[in-house]
């Protein structure tokens, strides 16, 4: 049923069950000029470059330490599993 002149929640002239499509807005991105690697490095200051190198070294050190700790933990878990399997095997025999 049609709503009376758009009242009762219906749009005038539309049958029930028809859907009204709403247009969607497109996202427009600003086009950036392509900058080469050499030009990008030249634009950055020496201070920023050295800070980035220091940060990279710091994070590499932290990641290496974390990786070593994880490896040690994994080895201890493997040893515990091996001991448990041996105890379980001894109980069966």
Q: What is the DSSP string of 31-51?
A: P-----HHHHHHHS-HHHHHH
Q: Is residue 14 situated within a structural domain?
A: no
Instruction: List the domain range (segments joined by +) for residue 73.
Output: 40-93
Instruction: Assess if residue 23 is contained within a domain.
Output: no
Q: How far is CA 60 from CA 45, 50, 64, in A?
A: 23, 15, 6
The answer as to whether 76 is a domain residue is yes
Which distant-in-sequence residues (6+ apart) come within 8 Å of 30 by Cβ? none
The whole model's pTM is what? 0.44
1 inside domain: no
Residue 74, token pair as written in the block:
């994994």
pLDDT, one tens digit per residue, over 24-77 is 667 666 677 787 888 877 777 778 878 888 999 999 999 999 999 999 999 999
Separation of CA 9 from chain center? 42
Taking the C-alpha atoms of residue 70 and residue 85, their distance in angstroms, rounded to an integer, is 22
In a domain? residue 45: yes
Give a yes or no: residue 28 inside a domain. Answer: no
- The domain total for the chain is 1
Radius of gyration of the chain (CA): 34
Note the pLDDT of residue 62: 92
Tell me whether residue 13 is in a domain. no
């Amino acid at each position: 049923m049609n709503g009376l002149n758009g009242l009762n929640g219906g749009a005038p002239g539309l049958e029930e069950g028809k859907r009204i499509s709403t247009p969607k807005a497109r996202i427009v991105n600003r086009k950036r000029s392509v900058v080469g690697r050499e030009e990008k490095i030249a634009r950055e200051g020496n201070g920023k470059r050295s800070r980035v190198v220091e940060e990279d070294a710091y994070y590499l050190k932290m990641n290496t330490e974390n990786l070593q700790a994880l490896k040690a933990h994994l080895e201890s878990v493997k040893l515990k599993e091996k001991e448990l399997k041996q105890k379980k095997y001894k109980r069966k025999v």
